[in-house]
Amino acid sequence: MGFHYLLDGKPLNKLVLFGTSALLLCVLWYPYHVTDVVISADMQIKVSLFLIGYTALLWMNAEGMLSRLVFPALVSLVSIEALLFAWPAINDREPIEKTDISNKQYHFDDSMEAARQIKASDKELFYRVDKVYGSIKTGYNDGMVQGFFGTKTYQSHNHKAYVEFLDKAGIIDGTKEQNTRWLVGLSATNMLHGLFSIKYLMSNEASQEKVDPAIYTPIDTIGKTVISRNNYYIPFGIPIEQYLTEQDYDQLSVSQRRRSFYFSVVAPDNAAWKNKLKPLPPVLENTFFGTETRDRTHYLADAAMKMDYFSHNLIKGHIELQNNAMIFFSLPYDIGWKAKVDGVEKDLELIDFGFTGLLIEPGRHAIELWYEPPLSKYGWLGVLGALLCVGVLIRFRKSF
């Protein structure tokens, strides 16, 4: 709008023009000295030249110099700038070549074939696979590229509930912002793999020490990738009959905290459902150790929900309970998830600092979980309202 204003012959405030240009140059060249941030001097020079060029052309236009050439010159300068700064985004990236695929480089390494082998041999509706190494760097995107459900993730805004759990379980330091974007997940925390339905773990020679031989048994080798099976795998939908308060949880050692998730759900202080479950007995120094956790995982595997259908936004299953239980679903708690038990809609609860729970009474029950994007109903109402308005305008267009 400002440029159109000048083309219409309105006067240019030269003080504002040169002052703004000088201010932008100062901001561009100010020595920020930010740790771990490298500012490209070459980029600063290029931006400075364009800024000076725009300033000169606008000044020449205001002075009536080369007035017929100023507009074409500005268009040309904008085009050159767009091409110059778009070029690195497209051409300075390292391309993936056909030889990279045939030579099993990057995400096309042996773990790609291992993931296909796992899915071909195990037809269970849902389970997770994880890797203790990365095909590229630490493997934050391996699951997405290679087609398996893992626990690592890289996003600018990871789910707050997942971050909270990893922090409380002592897996990450949640006070460091970088740790909340580059989530290491549970790949190296073998103790919790059963709880999160991680059935297979991939490793290579360099990362084999991250695979606990007491938990995993190697079952196959694809090239350099070793596939191990979890001896304590628990299917999705785990019934827990006891609860632990957040205050009591904070008193436990890191190892006890992680093991406690197999015996109890951590209840928020204001949880009204606590009186429906039994409190976890006092935790002693040797509680959860020995064979206690091992035996518990086998019990939970037998008692877990039997899945009947799985998709990314709809899960169906059935379960049979002897006592009141909170069903632990390894889904970050989100208001978009809804649940029905025997066809009746039920509330989902926040448990274990960031995951989803469903309180169910004794008996055999059918469970249905589905995801409905928050505010989607209001969105559809808005669409219908807009279509109605368009219809009214078309019908009565002569009246307007």
- What are the tokens at 305? 């929900």
pLDDT at site 22: 93
What distance in Å separates the CA atoms of residue 205 and residue 324, rounded to the nearest whole number?
A: 45
List the domain boundaries for the chain: 2-91, 100-151+186-230, 239-371
Alpha helices in the chain (DSSP H): 2-7, 14-29, 41-62, 67-91, 98-102, 110-121, 142-146, 160-168, 177-181, 246-250, 254-260, 292-303, 376-395
Strand runs labelled E in 270-343:
278-279, 306-310, 314-321, 325-332, 337-341
User: Other CB atoms closer than 10 Å to residue 152's CB: what's the count?
Assistant: 21
> Residue 190 is which amino acid?
N
**Other C-beta atoms lying within 10 Å of the C-beta of residue 68:** 7
The dihedral region occupied by 352, where left means phi > 0, alpha psi between -120 and 50, and beta the remainder, is left
Q: What is the pLDDT of residue 367?
A: 98
pLDDT score at 9: 65
Q: In the chain, which stretches have pLDDT less than 50?
A: none
pLDDT of residue 40: 84
